[in-house]
Amino acid sequence: MKKGTMEKDDAYWIGKAIAQAKRAEAIGEVPIGAVIVKDGMVIARGHNLRESRQDPAAHAEMIAIRKAARKLGTWRLTGATLYVTLEPCTMCMGGVILSRLDRVVFGSFDPKGGAAGSLFDLSNDSRLNHRVELTSGVRGEETSAMLSNFFAALRAKKKQLKDANGEVSEWSMVPDSKSGVRQRT
């Protein structure tokens, strides 16, 4: 550690992931953000872009993993830690395992899709060729509130559109980069 610097803890790095989640939310995406840290430095960042790209694999974690591999010039991300605001899903935990990340730190559990302790725990499955150290619940109340507030606002907007138009189809609720919710035309 350099003189005059302080060691940054998990809460600090989750804060960087939260900043990425806010970038996602600003463009109408579900507010999930991720950063990958190696040797005390952020080497990659990502936030959800599923709706913007219409890409089911454009999760914050996968974007960060791909960027980290490009930056380091290798798919092996040993010695690195993924910080993410929401427990990774099965796809993202697959990416974590395949990229050989050492550690995953996340904020909120995902009881409907989590693969790091909620529905599944792929981090320590003896059938797989890599194990991942997990730390959960870091700034969990804050990350959970971000998601709850986002979905509450989305439901309120859906109700407002339904009241104004009589009916709302699912496609009319797809986020856009300006208003946060694409309106019917």
Q: Is 87 a catalytic residue?
A: no
CB-facing half-sphere around the CA of 5: CA atoms within 13 A? 8
Closest to 32 (Cα-Cα) out of 1, 59, 68, 2: 59
Backbone φ and ψ for 164, nearest 5 degrees, come out as -80, -35
Annotated catalytic residue, options 25, 29, 51, 61: 61
**SS3 state at 11:** helix
Both tokens of 136, joined, read 């959960």
CA–CA gap between residue 172 and residue 185 (Å, rounded): 9
Residues noted as catalytic:
61
